[in-house]
Structure 1
Amino acid sequence: MSEASQAPASSSTPPWEAKRLPNRRGLARKLLAWGIVAGLAGAVFYALQPRPVEVEVGVVQNGPLTVYVSEEGKTRVRNRYVVAAPVAGSMQRVVLKPGDKVESGKTVLTRIEPAISPLLDTRARMQAQANVDAATAARSRANENIEMARTGLKYAQANWDRIKNNTDKGTVSDTDRDTFEREAEMKAREVRSAEFALQVADYELAQAKAALLQIEKPAEGGASIDVRAPVNGVVLRVQQESATIVAPGAPILEIGDPTDLEIEAEILSRDAVAIQLGAEVTVEQWGGDEPAKARVRRVEPAAFTKVSALGVEEQRVLVLSDFVAQTSALKSLGDRYRVEVRVAVWHSDKTLLVPSGALFREGSEWKTFLFDNGNAKVVTVKAGRTDGKLTQVLEGLKAGDEVLMHPPDTVKDGSDVVKRDEVK
């Protein structure tokens, strides 16, 4: 009876009202979608976070520093002699060319012949006699100059021998030894220059006497005058090559020794005041593989005005330098060759240095970014002298500090930075 009553009840329940089983596949799809959305959101959040800036780091350290003044210069023959016509007349053509060697008193440079009769009048005779007297006085002066130069050389050489033989350590500084040695060398060169001047005076006296002889005794003196080389050397430039009528004193050609070169550089007057005699000079861009060494011999006391390429008037001073050693490579240099000189105006054997690329200007102060455990920290620096690559630090940094080299505009005070060599 009870079984019969239960059967109709179960058969009366609609099939669509029956309890549904949970859909496990739909739940997994929802979880996967939410996971993708969360991953994308995390990636966007990570991408929007500020990242450390890659920077190059330099180190502040102690070291030597030399400050140079750079300028264009040119070589020139130290002793240049301009041969001029001793008398008026008809000059023959000069057959010598630049670079030809000449010998003192033997090589005939040109020949001057009488052009007009006034060479034989009384006035010409008196002028020729006056030229002889002037040449005699010039020779006497040159003779006195060479004696003075020899006396100075003797004194300088004695001082150098005394200092050179003094071997006690600490008695004489290296600077004083170099000064006495350079003084003896300069005096020797002055004697050589005075000897050349005496040869020129002898030549001028002989030429004046020959001109007087030509006027007083034309039959004995001949009808022409040979102009001979006054010194040994090389023809540098022929100023009058073609045959022409010349006046007394008209320049004919230049003679000099191309192996005896010096360097002249036109330095701005504000830089020249810091240049000392004997300062080190580096000669670059002269055509050789290695820079040549030279030393300052003279800083001329008078400046001159020169207009720059930009049209600005500048006051410049001639600075003369001598090569320290005449190497085989320097023999290819000639007169008035272009070079670049770097003159040392300040030197320190040990000072605190920072790379110049780490400094930047902010108003009237120099500043730099200090690398501080991954952060950029702005530091005010009191800078001293610089050679373009390194700068002297007077205040604000200490040895061992790391500074940012050429920091980009994105770096600010407190920015996160990372060394470029540490980025993987």
Structure 2
Amino acid sequence: MAQFFRRHLAKILLAAGLLLLLLIALRPTPLLVDSETVDIGPVVRTIEEEGKTRVAARFLLSAPLAAEARRITHAPGDPVAAGETVAVLDALAAPALDAREIAAARARVEGAAAALEATERERQALAAGAKLAAEELKRSRQLADSGLIAASELDAATAEAERSAALERSAAHRVRVARYELEAARTVLAYAGERDAAAGRVEIKSPVEGVVLRRYFESARVVTPGEPIIEIADPASLEIEADLLSADAVRLEPGMRVLLERWGADDPLEGRVRLIEPGGFTRVSALGVEEQRVLVIVDLISPREQWQRLGDAYRVNARFILWEAAEIIRVPAGALFRHRPPGGEQANREAPPAWAVFVLVNGRARLRPVQIGERGGRYAQVLAGLDPGETVIIHPPRDLEEGDRVRRRGGG
């Protein structure tokens, strides 16, 4: 027997080698897959929508009467001071007003005077509210220093004090506007013989300190009553408006955090939802589908130095933070898929399939049911089934099954 093996050793080795090569050739080729590691990090659930900036404190100055406007020298972007003359109107050669027009002009003067008084009372009420909010903020800071209240309560008191102060400033601006409107109404009476009509000149003054947002004409021309002349705005009152689907808008609440991205710089700006408007509107999408949209207003929280180059009607991308957590076990959303285990009772068959992933273990794909919590755009929260450090397959192929040999793309 030994002599037989020695005589045919070469043939036996050749046959064994051929058999080994045949087994290797018939062995299934491992599937190439992409993979990532389960880790601990932040998970954020958001709603993303395009928005644009708008100046909240804007004032459109129009002609109080028919006149000839002189050339407008202020250009868009020019700073103006409160009370600065931005347009000059010269009287037209017009016939005298009749008794009915004189009576109407006097009524407008009285109405403007009443509006000024009402606006001043509103300013006083808002000033009282701002003072109360400032005192409340002072007390909250003292309590926060003593550790008696949470930081979120201090943030809420700070936001309320800033909001009350902003409302007071806005009311003060409206008082100035009402005062100028009263002066404009009295000017109309000057043409009715109440004052010396030989003066024949009306100066349109800026009610607030700000910049020229736009001018509606430049060269001298005749203007009609109510025709817009120039628009002035306070650039510090910039806010964001975004129209969302009504189904998304109902998930938002005032005070929610917003990240403003793709506005021209790499770092996102911070914002907070101030108002979800109660009335919606219909808009036709690019695909021709009618959508019910809701306008959402966002206040900028980031320091003005970061966004001072933003202007009115600039495009931004708003990400509304519905839920976020900083340090939790997370899995890439691309690794998740729905899976129903075979067999089981009929009730279980009627239940929705559970979440599962393929875990990479020693070069093989192992099916693993998992329990998922909140889901963000990139990651999902893991409640059970996975541990940090395990490797999962991203976007597993449809033909991948339990126990299949796999190889990570790139040779890993």
Q: TM-score, normalised by structure 1?
A: 0.84
Identity rate of aligned residues, in percent? 39
Could you tell me which of 372, 386, 395 is aligned with 2:375?
A: 386
Could you tell me which of 75, 80, 98 is aligned with 1:102?
A: 80
SS of residue matched to 1:252: strand
Question: Where do residues 257-296 of structure 1 align in structure 2 (5 Å cutoff)?
Answer: 257-296=234-273
Contact 2:144 2:151 in 1 (8 A): no
What amino acid does structure 2 have at the position aligned with 1:392?
A: Q
Q: In 2 relative to 1, CA 418–312 (structure 1 residues): closer, same or farther, beyond 3 Å? A: same
What amino acid does structure 1 have at the position aligned with 2:57?
A: N
Question: Where do residues 105-184 of structure 1 align in structure 2 (5 Å cutoff)?
Answer: 105-117=83-95, 119-167=96-144, 169-184=146-161
Could you tell me which of 361, 376, 379 is aligned with 2:365?
A: 376
Task: Point out the structure with max Rg over C-alpha.
Answer: 1
How far the C-alpha of 1:51 sits from its partner, in A, is 3.9
SS of residue matched to 1:340: strand
Cα distance in 1 for partners of 2:374, 2:392 equals: 18
Contact 2:55 2:238 in 1 (8 A): yes
Question: Where do residues 232-271 of structure 1 align in structure 2 (5 Å cutoff)?
Answer: 232-271=209-248
Structure 1 window deviating more from structure 2 (49-58 vs 272-281): it is: 49-58
Cα distance in 2 for partners of 1:152, 1:163 equals: 16
What amino acid does structure 2 have at the position aligned with 1:415?
A: D
What amino acid does structure 1 have at the position aligned with 2:356?
A: K
Contact 1:214 1:222 in 2 (8 A): no
Could you tell me which of 58, 61, 74 is aligned with 1:80?
A: 58
Cα distance in 2 for partners of 1:394, 1:309 equals: 40
Contact 2:56 2:237 in 1 (8 A): yes
Equivalent residue number for residue 27 of structure 2: 49
How far the C-alpha of 1:129 sits from its partner, in A, is 0.7
SS of residue matched to 2:278: coil
How far the C-alpha of 1:178 sits from its partner, in A, is 0.8
What amino acid does structure 1 have at the position aligned with 2:127?
A: R
SS of residue matched to 1:120: coil
Instruction: Give per-residue Cα distances to partners, 1:319-354, cap 9 Å, x unaligned.
Output: 222222334342211111111111111123554421
**Matching of residue 210 in structure 1 with residue 199 in structure 2:** no
Structure 1 window deviating more from structure 2 (362-371 vs 324-333): it is: 362-371
Contact 1:76 1:334 in 2 (8 A): yes
Contact 1:240 1:251 in 2 (8 A): no
Q: In 2 relative to 1, CA 324–312 (structure 1 residues): closer, same or farther, beyond 3 Å? A: same
Cα distance in 2 for partners of 1:167, 1:104 equals: 39
Cα distance in 2 for partners of 1:89, 1:41 equals: 105
Structure 1 window deviating more from structure 2 (368-377 vs 392-401): it is: 392-401
How far the C-alpha of 1:407 sits from its partner, in A, is 2.3
Equivalent residue number for residue 353 of structure 1: 330
SS of residue matched to 2:17: helix
Q: In 2 relative to 1, CA 416–108 (structure 1 residues): closer, same or farther, beyond 3 Å? A: closer
Cα distance in 2 for partners of 1:385, 1:342 equals: 17
Q: TM-score, normalised by structure 2?
A: 0.86
Structure 1 window deviating more from structure 2 (213-222 vs 93-102): it is: 213-222
**Matching of residue 406 in structure 1 with residue 395 in structure 2:** yes
How far the C-alpha of 1:220 sits from its partner, in A, is 5.2
How far the C-alpha of 1:419 sits from its partner, in A, is 5.0
Equivalent residue number for residue 343 of structure 1: 320
How far the C-alpha of 1:362 sits from its partner, in A, is 5.6
Equivalent residue number for residue 7 of structure 1: none
How far the C-alpha of 1:193 sits from its partner, in A, is 0.4
Q: Number of residue pairs matched?
A: 395
Structure 1 window deviating more from structure 2 (164-173 vs 265-274): it is: 164-173
How far the C-alpha of 1:121 sits from its partner, in A, is 2.1
Structure 1 window deviating more from structure 2 (183-192 vs 57-66): it is: 57-66
Contact 1:263 1:322 in 2 (8 A): yes
Q: What RMSD over aligned residues (CA atoms) do the two structures have, in Å?
A: 2.8
SS of residue matched to 2:166: helix
